Chains A and B, each alone.
Chain A
Amino acid sequence: MENVLFLACIEPDGSLGKTARETLAIARQAAAELGAEFCAGLIGEHCEPGSRTAAAAGCAALYLVEGSAFGISRYATDSAAAEAIARAARPTLVFAPAVSRVSRFIAGLAQRLNGRVDTQITGLAVHDGQLVVDRWFYRQRIEATLTRTTRPWLLTVAPGTMPAFDGDAAPTRVERIAVDLPESLQRTRVEGVQAPPGAGQTVRPDAELLFVAGAGWTKPQRDGQSHVEQAAQLILGFLDRTQASLGGSKSLVDVGGEGQPVLPFLTHLNQVGQTGATPRHPKGLATCCHGEEPHVVGWRFINERRAINLDPNCGWARGKADVLYVADAFAVMRKVNELLGG
């Protein structure tokens, strides 16, 4: 019989984040379909109200590792805490959210438990009592369904895979686990989390719209001159009006290293594609970007896609966008900003 463990790190306010609650919903569903035991393990400085949410999902037991040393994302302490939880809960299946904190240690945890790990799963099903999961390979270019017989099997769940679980109930059985932290596990001191210098907060994972700027914004225009300041005003003006999330193509993010004019607020954190992010937004608008495959693989989870480009034969025209406007993005975005108002 399978034993399902939902494993997550608590947010600074003690709650479970959205991706964690989505994963909780998946773990709960898997446990129900497999007829498995279902428990939860939480790591954080304080685990209330997150533990109440997990309890509401029907966890039979809650394993908590709490304390100030566990309120930060640090491999040594997070992996020690997760290992202690796993040794107490003895799961055969572990579901954890594919957020950066968990992604830093989940494979190392699998190694410690002599288990196996599959990350960023996007779907799951139970066939003949056997769990099968979906995940993408080759940067979202091939999707595969797979299963494993090795246990424990650790899985991280990609954001947006399932609606988030919400609930509140008194935990039934709580086991607080003390984790010994020798000096050797505290050689790293986390100084904090910050926005990249000069970038501002332009990456907004929960935004309805992804706005992608391509290298064309910094290239010479019809008058033979580049107009980077104007481009920056138009882009920031649009982001301000729509609260869209800003993405960039690799070529635009890289131009700074080539000595060309740059948009100062674009960093590698904004980069979408083969060597960048694969964000999830309902809509995406690409501007001055050619829509070549290494970039467009980052659009796999963008549902509605529109693009503005001067080239009617660009990649977007070849079945990668729903609509391609063959037009000057400077002129179009200026008018769009006007219509959106201040």
Chain B
Amino acid sequence: MSGYHVVVCGSVVPDPLHPLEPVTGPNGPELKNEMILPAVFDPWAAHALYEAAHLVQSVPGSRLWLVSIGPRAKLQQVMMTIGQKVVLQLVALDGPAGGFVDAAATAEALADAIAAIDGLDRARLVLCGGWASASRGAGAVLQMVGEHLGIVDQFQGVDELAVQPDGALRVVERADGGLNQVSLCAGPPVLLGWATGNRPEPPNNPQIGMQNMRGVMPALQKARPAQLGMDGLRYCCAQAPRRRRETRIVKDMPVDEIAREIVAWIRG
């Protein structure tokens, strides 16, 4: 048997162009009109998915699963787009995907779902996801899933992955100050928390869409509920920043004068 068993974790987040307003719900803060906000697939998780699909295409015998927790209706909406881009098998859990949900509870549910995947060879596992979500933005869930699954070779902020002739994985991660750290890992099992990667978003392919939908719709229908507890977590308040700047709009000012003003501001 050869090839990787690639599992990508990722979920839905509100469309970044849409204003967000927190309100108090029964379990703490949530977003106003959360269920009707337009949703997109989490951007960094999307990069992980595209990179994972590239890896699967490059190495014969590889397989790709997408494991996702989210409200079923939202997942279905987003899968209509994502499902046209890469060939995947969906494992869906019907539960909250908001940023105020506890990372540990989410990780436990994801790890249980991954461990239960039929035919998954953990010795060949390449566990991927975004290095942080666009909701909680903690960079915590994927590490915890990795710990649940016993993966001790973990990388975060990954921008590049290359399979070496001997099977080792060359991983380029982001480090502080705009630098990259380069590592060689002996091989799977490995965890890759992707940053942006290097691959553009694949175009929609109706054939891929048709192929995926045969599996995606049943997966959504049998998505089991995921109850994610708050386990000692209590929010005191949540608010959108109120500050709006009084913008001075400078029109018709000569270029020289603008430049002088900017230089004075920089030096001031």
- Give the interface size bracket for A toward B: 35 or more
Residues on A with beta carbons closer than 8 Å to the beta carbon of B179? 193-196, 203, 269
How far, in whole Å, are A101 and B155 apart by their CA atoms in the complex? 10
Q: Is B157 a contact of A100 with CB atoms below 8 Å?
A: yes
Contact of B102 among A103, A116, A185 (CB under 8 A): A116
Give the interface centre of A257, A292, A306 by most chain B CB atoms within 10 Å.
A306
0/1 interface trace, chain B 217-245, chain A, CB 8 Å (1 if under): 00000000000000111111111110011
Q: Which residue of chain A lies nearest to B148 when distances are taken between CB atoms in the complex?
A: A111
**B interface, over-half SS:** mixed
Q: How far is the CA of A99 from the CA of B184 in the complex (A)?
A: 22
Q: Is A249 an interface residue (CB 8 A)?
A: no
Asked if A213 lies at the interface with its beta carbon under 8 angstroms from chain B, I say no
Contact with A along B152-178 (1 / 0, CB 8 A): 111111010000000000000111111
Give complex CA distance A336, B260 in Å. Answer: 7
Interface residue from A120, A136, A188, A332 paired with B259 (Cβ < 8 Å) = A332
**Complex contact A111–B16 (CB within 8 A):** no
* Contact pattern, A 243-264, Cβ under 8 Å of B = 1, otherwise 0: 0000000000010011000000
B247 touches A137 (CB 8 A): no
* Whole-angstrom distance between the Cβ of B108 and the nearest chain A Cβ: 9
Interface residues on B, range: 35 or more
Complex Cα gap A201–B175 (Å): 13
Question: A13: shortest Cβ distance to chain B, in Å?
Answer: 15
Q: For B256, list chain A residues within 8 Å (CB).
A: 335
Residues of B within 8 A of A165 (CB): none
The reply to whether the CB of B139 lies closer than 8 angstroms to some CB of chain A is: yes
The docked-state distance in angstroms from the alpha carbon of A191 to that of B152 is: 18
Please tell me which one of the listed residues A147, A185, A242 contacts residue B234 in the complex, with CB atoms under 8 A apart: A147
CB-nearest residue of chain A to B244: A319
Flag if A148 contacts B233 (CB, 8 Å): yes
Q: How long is the Cα–Cα vector from A110 to B249 in the complex, in angstroms?
A: 48
- Of the stretches B56-64, B86-94, B120-128, B130-138, the one at the interface is B130-138
User: Are A319 and B245 within 8 A (Cβ)?
Assistant: yes
**Chain B residues near A283 (CB, 8 Å)?**
265-266
Q: Are B183 and A189 in contact (CB under 8 A)?
A: yes
B14: Cβ under 8 A from any A Cβ: yes
B:94-115 near A, CB below 8 Å: 99-100, 102-104, 107
User: Which of B107, B234, B239 gathers the greatest number of chain A CB atoms within 10 Å?
Assistant: B234
Q: Tell yes or no: A176 within 8 A of B by CB.
A: no
The distance from the CB of A235 to the nearest CB of chain B, in whole angstroms, is 14
Identify which of A41-49, A53-61, A88-96, A310-318 touches chain B: A310-318
Contact yes or no, B238 A143, CB < 8 A: yes
B262 near A: Cβ within 8 Å?
yes
The docked-state distance in angstroms from the alpha carbon of A190 to that of B195 is 19
A73 at the interface (CB under 8 A from B): yes
A70 within 8 A of B: no
The answer for the CA separation of A275 and B173 in the assembled complex, in Å, is 15
Note all chain A residues with C-beta closer than 8 A to B244.
Answer: 319
Would you give the shortest CB distance from B216 to chain A, in whole angstroms?
Answer: 25
List, in ascending order, chain B residues with CB within 8 A of A185's CB.
152
- Say whether A321 faces chain B, with CB atoms less than 8 Å apart: yes
Say how far B39's CB is from chain A's closest CB, in angstroms.
Answer: 13
Contact pattern, A 163-196, Cβ under 8 Å of B = 1, otherwise 0: 0000000000000000000001101111111111
Q: What are the residues of chain B within 8 A of A285 when measuring CB–CB?
A: 262, 266
Nearest CB in chain A: distance from B230 CB, A: 9
Shortest Cβ gap from B143 to chain A (Å)? 4
Q: Determine the chain B residues whose CB is within 8 A of the CB of A119 once the complex forms.
A: 138-140
Using A270-B178, A275-B44 as known contacts, say yes or no to A294 and B16 having CB atoms under 8 A apart.
yes
Give the distance in Å from the alpha carbon of A268 to the alpha carbon of B197 in the complex.
8
Q: Would you call B238 and A137 a contact (CB within 8 A)?
A: yes
Q: Write the nearest CB–CB distance from B201 to chain A, whole angstroms.
A: 9
A233 at the interface (CB under 8 A from B): no
Task: Using A108-B154, A269-B174 as known contacts, say yes or no to A242 and B266 having CB atoms under 8 A apart.
Answer: yes
In the complex, B1 has a CB within 8 A of chain A: no
Judged by a CB distance under 8 angstroms, whether A1 is at the interface is: no
- Complex A-B, nearest 8 residue pairs according to Cβ-Cβ distance, in ascending order: A203-B178, A335-B259, A107-B140, A319-B244, A150-B232, A107-B143, A149-B232, A144-B238
A-B contact sample (10 more), CB < 8 A, given A117-B104, A201-B177, A326-B249: A104-B173, A105-B154, A107-B138, A137-B100, A138-B13, A147-B233, A190-B181, A199-B178, A268-B196, A275-B47
11 pairs of residues in contact across A and B, judged by CB atoms under 8 Å: A75-B155, A101-B175, A104-B156, A142-B99, A143-B241, A187-B153, A196-B179, A269-B180, A283-B266, A325-B250, A325-B262
